Amino acid sequence: MTDPFMDALATALAGQAVTALGAAGTAALVKVRELLRRRSDRDPETLAALEAAEGPDAGAPQIKALAERLDRVSQEDPGFGEELRTEGAPIHNDITASENSVVNVNHGNVDKLIQSREIHGGITFN
């Protein structure tokens, strides 16, 4: 099981949570992506995981692989892990649902999907 923080970063890097990001989260996403690309000179595995997750056909397996890679490199290089957490905090904060927000992330194809904070009454799918 990966760190929920790394799951949030991987989801955002894969473009699966763009609508959940505010201005700070969007700016942080650029910084995190740059941080990972700078590291890629000495860490081609992280670059490969990032590129796979950013690909047009990326789905849950690629996002999970990126989260696992981020988790691993953060443990292997605590300084890098701290920098990743510092730069990525606004992303995690935007994606993590709080009392006043709703964040839904869908992976894959769905027939019917509703995103809502509150529904008063019923919902009928036909």
CA distances from 102 to 24, 76, 114, 117 (A): 17, 34, 12, 6
CB 12: neighbour CB atoms within 10 A?
28
Predicted local confidence at residue 55, as pLDDT = 87
CB 6: neighbour CB atoms within 10 A?
23
Query: Rounded to an integer, what distance in angstroms lies between the CA atom of residue 32 and that of residue 34?
Result: 5
Q: Which amino acid appears at position 75 of this protein? A: Q
Q: What Rg do the C-alpha atoms of the chain give, in angstroms? A: 16
User: pLDDT tens digits for 64-98?
Assistant: 999 999 999 999 999 999 999 999 988 888 777 54
Q: How many residues does the chain have?
A: 126
Question: How much is the pTM?
Answer: 0.71
